[in-house]
Amino acid sequence: MKDMRAQLATAYQWWKEHQEDVNRLEQENATLRAQLEVSGRNDREPDPRHRKTLLRIISALLDLAEVASSEPPKTTAHDINAKLELKGCSMKPDTIADVIRTDRDTD
C-alpha cells in the first residue's frame, strides 16, 4: 500500500510539474484542429466557371512560355516541374500532365 501511495505521489508531482506543458499542447492541438478544419474547406474544386478561367490562364502562360504543344503532356510536365524545383517547390508530374491534358482538351 505504501508503494502505491509513493507511485501516486510521484505521478501527481509529475503532473503538477508538467501541467503547463500539457495545457500548452492541448491549446496547440485545438489550434491545429481548427486550421485543419478550415483548410479542408478550401480544398474543394473550383466552380466550373472559375476552373475554365484558370485553365485559360494556364493555356496563355504555356503559350507565353513557348511550351511545345507537340510534346507529350508527361514530357512537358517534367519540364515544368524542373522549373518549379528551381523556385524551391515541386509537384507530381502526373498532376501537371493532367492539367496540360485538360488545357489541350479545352482549346
State the total domains in the chain: 2
Window from 6-10, 89-93, 101-105 with minimum mean pLDDT = 101-105
Q: Which residue has the higher pLDDT, 103 or 77?
A: 77
Looking at the fold, whether 59 and 35 belong to one and the same domain comes out as: no
Q: What are phi and psi of 15, to 5 degrees?
A: -60, -45
For range 64-92, the mean pLDDT: 82
Radius of gyration of the CA atoms of the chain, in A: 26
Distance between CA atoms of residues 45 and 5, nearest Å: 58
Whether 75 and 24 have beta carbons less than 8 Å apart is answered as no
Looking at the fold, whether 40 and 53 belong to one and the same domain comes out as: no
How many other C-beta atoms are found inside a 10 Å radius of the C-beta of residue 9? 10
The whole-model pTM stands at: 0.47
Give the H or E element holding residue 32. Answer: helix 2-42
Predicted local confidence at residue 106, as pLDDT: 64
Domain, as residue range, for 29: 1-44
